[in-house]
Amino acid sequence: MPSTTNKPARLRTAVCPGSFDPVTNGHVDVIERASRLFDRLIVAVGRNTAKAPVFTVEERLEHLRCTVGDLPGVEVTAFAGLLTDAVRQFGALAVVRGLRAVSDFEWEFQMALMNRELDPGCETVFLMPSARFSFVSSTMIREIARLRGDISAFVPEPVASALLERVRG
């Protein structure tokens, strides 16, 4: 229905944050789904202080740009500090997180509620990736690569080559 006011249309922006170390086909699936729901989707590489990364932030940005950077409305960037601050700075309505299985739920629920406690305007939307990615995690991919397993079905091609080169030296 056409707008009856003179207000400029507001772009519905969401932030999809993550470590993306490395980006997996499951992440790509969630980003594609989210990009169809929002006008603008900011894929934001954050620092998870509990994890020592294999790839630098710049490398992760490069991997994301060459896999999801061309999707309509998708922008790729990094953020430092609290996610809630980044969400406010981006003018986003929501945080998008993928839920692969019930086992993800407890941590994601805790994080969503803490973020909303820190900023009552910070809503989180959960999207389920395709079931064929429900067992794929960056942690497992890094381990399989280190142990010389085949990761080609789980990550985009440029990422597979970069990871194999990085972990096998």
Q: Does 48 bind ligand PNS (CB under 6 A)?
A: yes
CB of 111 to ligand PNS, least distance (A): 4
According to CB under 6 A, which residues from 66 to 85 bind ligand PNS?
Answer: 82-83
**Helix, coil or strand: residue 36:** helix
Q: Which residues of 59-86 are buried (b: 16+ CB within 10 A; e: fewer)?
A: bbbbbbeebbeebebbbbebbeeebbeb
Binding ligand PNS by CB under 6 A: which of 13, 16, 18, 141? Answer: 18
CB–CB of 166/54 below 8 Å? Answer: yes
CB of 4 to ligand PNS, least distance (A): 39
Binding segment (CB under 6 A) for ligand PNS, from list 17-25, 33-41, 56-64, 119-127: 17-25
- In the structure encoding, which two tokens stand for residue 56, read together? 């630098």
Structure tokens at 128: 């389920």
Task: Kindly tell me which of 32 and 85 has the beta carbon lying closer to ligand PNS.
Answer: 85
| Nearest approach, Cβ of residue 45 and ligand PNS (Å) | 8
Contact flag: residue 111 with ligand PNS (CB under 6 A): yes
Which region, left, alpha or beta, applies to residue 136 given φ > 0 means left and ψ of -120 to 50 means alpha?
Answer: beta
Residues at the site binding ligand PNS, with contacts judged by CB under 6 A? 17-19, 46, 48, 82-83, 111, 114-115
